[in-house]
Structure 1
Amino acid sequence: MKQVSINSIEKAIDKIDNLDDEGLGRISETYALAQQTLLGYIMSASVEYKNEQLEGLLIYYYCLISEAFTQEQVTLNQISEDDIDAFEQPFFEMLDEYFDKEDEDIIHGFTEQSELVRFMMMEITTKDEDGTSLDDDTATQLFIVTAAMITLMSRAIQA
């Protein structure tokens, strides 16, 4: 399985964070059209969790993580409803074990993208430039949804 490297993550951050509003709109649309089923799945989390703040964060991290895969020069197959259905039960079982044991190896092994998961762990625990941080519920929700996204995207890498 092709790993997304720290270098690709850093390039993605640099690109996404330096786009103007028009550029962000274009890249958001490009990635939204590329994986419509996946985007619909992850965006439903903000409704399910009843957390409006999560919606904007999910769009940002969807674009950032998609760009990291692009920077790594991997192509993804379309992620289908069947892919998501087959993934969900093992994913939630893994999450239960991860939160029970607090063993990062569990989540790294399942997602097969250690660097992206480490990046998200840092993102949810680090204060922003203005000194603000996510509340615990939003941080946990963001981590769960992005871990799901990373796993599904990793499994969709074309051989």
Structure 2
Amino acid sequence: MNGLQEMIFISEIALQSKIAQRAAECLKANENSFDKIEVWSSIQSILVAAANVSKILWSSNKKYEKRGERLRQILRVEKENILSDRKFRNHFEHYDDRIEEWFCNNSNGVYIDLAMNPSFPGRTLNNNHRGYNSFDNTLVFRDQSLDLNEVLKALEDILNNCKPHTLT
């Protein structure tokens, strides 16, 4: 990988990090409006931007592993960074598969999706599929959770490490 390629990849990482930051600002601005479309649009934008950074830094294509290693070295990103795990992005990107799997393995007809504040006291997580807790900025997929604050912090750290390597 030459210097121009490095600069282009780092610029793309910076752009995706800024997109996630903007989406987080929109999410925060809409937390009291209860506009589901705005909330889920912002969440999806954060997940997609984080996944785009992840794909650059941890390519699933063996052919590009060295690229990721080199960029992580330049940007001082630990191999086990939270962005290396694409589980939540995959839950949302492959939601059609998750629906099929659910109905193959569950006979009951209860299906709750896009829940707002599903872990708020008094509510149960048992049949929630996708949920967002605005109180602690946590995303829920069935029995798993993801702290969006941690994702955004990781992107912010990477963005700060990008600055010396990008054109202004």
**TM-score normalised by L of structure 1:** 0.27
Give the number of the structure whose alpha-carbon radius of gyration is greater.
2
Q: Which is richer in helix?
A: 1
Q: Which is richer in strand?
A: 2
- Greater length-normalized contact order (CA 8 Å, ≥ 6 residues apart): 1
**TM-score normalised by L of structure 2:** 0.26
